[in-house]
Structure 1
C-alpha cells in the first residue's frame, strides 16, 4: 500500500481471495477436524495393534515353555517305562521267590509313577495348546487393529488430497474410509 491510498495486490492475495470465493463452505476447517479425529482414533488403534502383537508373542513363548515341560515329563515317563520293563524282566530271571516279589513291587511302583507322570504331561500339553490358542486369537486381533489403522491412514491421505483439490466428493470419500476404519476397530474391540 502506498501513501496515496492506492492498494496493490500481491500474487498471494489474489490466490487467497480466489480460494475464499471458490472453496466450498468450510471445507478446509471440516477437513482439519476430520483429520484430527482420524489421527487420534488411529493412534489408539495403533497402540492396541502393538499391544495385541506383544501379547501374541508372550503367549506363544508360554506355549513353547509349557510344551518343553511336557516333553520333559514324557522323557521322565519313558525312563520309568524302561525301569519297569527291566523290573519285569528281572521277575522272570530272579532265582528266588523273594527276589521275584521285590521286582514285582518295583514294577508296580513304576506303573503308578508312570500314571502320575502321564497325567502331569497331559495337563502340560493341554496348557500348551491353550497358550497357542490364545496367541492365535491375539494375532487375529492384531491384524484387525492393523487393518483399522491402515484404513484411517488412507482416510487422512484422502483428506489431504481433498484439501489440495478442493473437491467435496473427496471429503465424502475421506469420511467413508474413516467409517470403514472405525468399523474395523470396533470389530477388533469386540474380538470379531
Structure 2
C-alpha cells in the first residue's frame, strides 16, 4: 500500500473546523446564559408586578375607606366628626405611601423587563450563530471526507456568517 500524499489545504480545513467548533461551543454557552438571564428576569418582573398589584389593592381599600370616613364625618358633629376626619387623613397618608411604593415597584419591574428583552436579543444572536457554525462544521466534515475544496470554501463562507453572528451576540450591532 502506497501512502497517499496529504493535500496541504486539509491542514487548514482541520484548523478552521476546530475554530468553528470552539466558536459554536462558546456561542451555545453564552446563548444559554442569556436565555437563563431572560427567564430569571421575567420571573422577577412578574413578582414585582404581583407586588405592585397587591399594593394597588391595599391602596384602593384604604381609598374607599377614607371616602366612607369622610362621608360619615359630614353627617357627624363635634368630636366624632373630628375623629373621623383625623382617621380619614391617616388613611389618605397611607394611600400616598402606597402610591410612592407602587411607583418604585413599577420602575423595578420595568427595569427587569428591559433586562429580559436585552438578554433575549443576545440569546437570539448566539442561537443564529450556533446554527451557522454547525452547518459550517458539517460542510467542513463533508469537504474532508470527499476531499472537495469547494465544499470547504462554502463552509468557510457559512462559518464567517456564524462568526459574524457570534460577535453580534456580544455587541448587538446587527
**Residue aligning to 1:43:** 25
**1:165 shift after superposition:** 2.5
Alignment partner of 1:81 is 2:54: no
Alignment match, 1:186: 167
Q: TM-score w.r.t. structure 1 length? A: 0.84
Q: Are 2:153 and 1:172 equivalent residues in the alignment? A: yes
CA distance in 2, matches of 1:30, 1:103: 87
**Which of 35-44 and 161-170 deviates more?**
161-170
Structure 2 unaligned regions, length at least 5:
none
Indicate the residue corresponding to 1:93 in structure 2.
75
Q: Deviations over 1:98-134 (max 9, x none)?
A: 1111111111221111111111112111211111111
- Runs of at least 4 residues off by over 3 Å: none
Contact kept in structure 2, 1:70 and 1:121, CA below 8 Å: yes
Aligned to 2:48: 66
Q: Deviations over 1:2-28 (max 9, x none)?
A: xxxxxxxxxxx36x64xx3xx7x3233
Q: Is the 8 A contact 1:42 1:153 kept in 2?
A: yes
> Which of 142, 145, 167 in structure 2 is aligned with 1:161?
142
Task: Give 1:77 shift.
Answer: 0.2
Which has the higher Rg, Structure 1 or Structure 2? Answer: 1
When normalised by structure 2's length, the TM-score is: 0.93
CA RMSD of aligned residues (A): 1.5
Q: Contact 1:27/1:163 (CA < 8 Å) preserved in 2?
A: no
